[in-house]
């Protein structure tokens, strides 16, 4: 028994090496020349071959699917990257298109304006806790603009210069409580004074000294009248958004929303000289 155990490993190795030889030899022979031993080998090897083929096919199919999934995953990642790149390019194109549209409108407005305009860009803002713009700073200084000069865009009235220093100037907006502008209602010519309300959460003004008998409506456009000669006439100042009829007194209270969205303001003009203008600019 001990002697048998000594040669056990060698015998197993010989058998394992011999079996594949016999299987291969029997499978390669011509069917007409098979011996009885070959037929026994073939019967024994058929189930083994079937299982081996099935396992090989399964493993191969799984591997192919894995490779395909890896490839699809890489392609999806590439597509996501490309999609984000295209989105970013579209955003840039949209920004350029918006800027180009604004600049074309600014150019058209400058050509039609009867006076001298100095172009300026916003370089700074003071904002409230509600992100409402309180004041703006522009890139034109004391060499080209001075206190009191009107500031406008193609959309309408922005405000006026409060001070200029070095290469910069500060602009008081029409919604500031210190801002007062002579205005007139386009539809019926009713006149009054537009004063800023200085609200921290919205842009609005109030048209003062508007007589009770002056019939105005929500949606009426309000333009600069040019009466005090501080602002050129015919610049859109805002739109009536609320009317409060008083039971007593000579005047009614009318809220006016500004024509310009100060939060989106980028470019503007400082009016250094102007002539009287006839009529009103259509919105």
The pLDDT of residue 278 is 45
Does the domain at residues 116-274 carry the CATH identifier 2.60.40.4070? no
Which residues are CB-neighbours of 99 under 8 A, at least 6 positions away? 266
pLDDT at 145: 94
CA dihedral 99, 101, 257, 162 (to 10 degrees): 50
Which pLDDT belongs to residue 260? 94
pTM of the model: 0.66
Q: Which two tokens stand for residue 241?
A: 């958004």
The pLDDT, as a whole number, for residue 58 is 74
Instruction: Please write the tens of the pLDDT for every residue from 45-67.
Output: 666 666 666 666 676 677 777 77
The whole-number pLDDT of residue 96 equals: 77
186 neighbors 223 (Cβ within 8 angstroms): yes
DSSP string, 223-266: EE--TTSSS-TT-EEEEEEEEE--SSSSEEEEEEEESS-GGG--
Q: What is the CA radius of gyration of the chain?
A: 43
What DSSP state is assigned to residue 31? G
Q: What is the pLDDT of residue 283?
A: 47
pLDDT of residue 84: 81
pLDDT in tens, the chain (283 residues): 555 555 665 665 655 555 555 565 555 455 555 566 555 665 656 666 666 666 666 766 777 777 777 777 777 878 888 888 888 888 887 877 777 777 788 888 888 888 899 999 999 999 888 888 999 999 999 999 999 999 999 999 999 999 999 999 999 999 999 999 999 999 999 999 999 998 888 899 999 998 888 889 999 999 999 887 889 999 999 999 998 876 677 888 899 999 999 998 999 999 998 876 544 454 4
Structural domain boundaries in the chain = 2-61, 116-274
pLDDT per residue over 174-198, tens digit each?
999 999 999 999 999 999 999 999 8
Distance CA 10, CA 174 (A): 104
pLDDT at residue number 221: 96
Average pLDDT over the chain reads 81
């Amino acid at each position: 028994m001990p002697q048998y155990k000594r040669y056990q490993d060698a015998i197993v190795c010989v058998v394992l090496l011999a079996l594949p030889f016999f299987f291969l030899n029997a499978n390669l022979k011509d069917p007409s020349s098979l011996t009885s031993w070959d037929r026994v080998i073939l019967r024994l090897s058929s189930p083994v071959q079937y299982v081996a083929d099935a396992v090989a096919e399964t493993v191969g199919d799984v591997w192919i699917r894995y490779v395909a999934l890896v490839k699809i995953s890489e392609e999806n990642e590439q597509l996501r990257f490309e999609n984000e790149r295209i989105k970013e390019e579209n955003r840039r194109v949209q920004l350029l298109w918006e800027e180009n549209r604004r600049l074309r409108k600014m150019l058209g407005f400058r050509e039609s304006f009867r006076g001298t305009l100095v172009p300026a860009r916003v370089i700074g803002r003071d904002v409230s806790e509600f992100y409402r713009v309180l004041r703006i700073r522009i890139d034109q200084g004391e060499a080209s603009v001075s206190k009191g000069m009107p500031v406008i865009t193609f959309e309408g009235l922005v405000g006026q210069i409060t001070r200029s220093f070095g290469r910069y100037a500060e602009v008081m907006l029409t919604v500031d409580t210190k801002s007062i502008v002579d205005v007139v209602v386009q539809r019926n010519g009713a006149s009054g004074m537009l004063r800023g309300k200085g609200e921290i959460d919205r842009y609005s003004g109030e048209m003062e000294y508007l007589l009770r008998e002056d019939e105005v409506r929500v949606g009426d456009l309000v333009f600069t009248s040019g009466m005090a000669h501080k602002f050129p006439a015919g610049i859109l100042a805002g739109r009536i958004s609320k009317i409060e009829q008083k039971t007593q007194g000579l005047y009614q209270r009318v809220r006016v929303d500004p024509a310009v969205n100060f939060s989106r303001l980028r470019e503007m003009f400082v009016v250094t000289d102007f002539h009287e203008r006839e009529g009103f600019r259509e919105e």
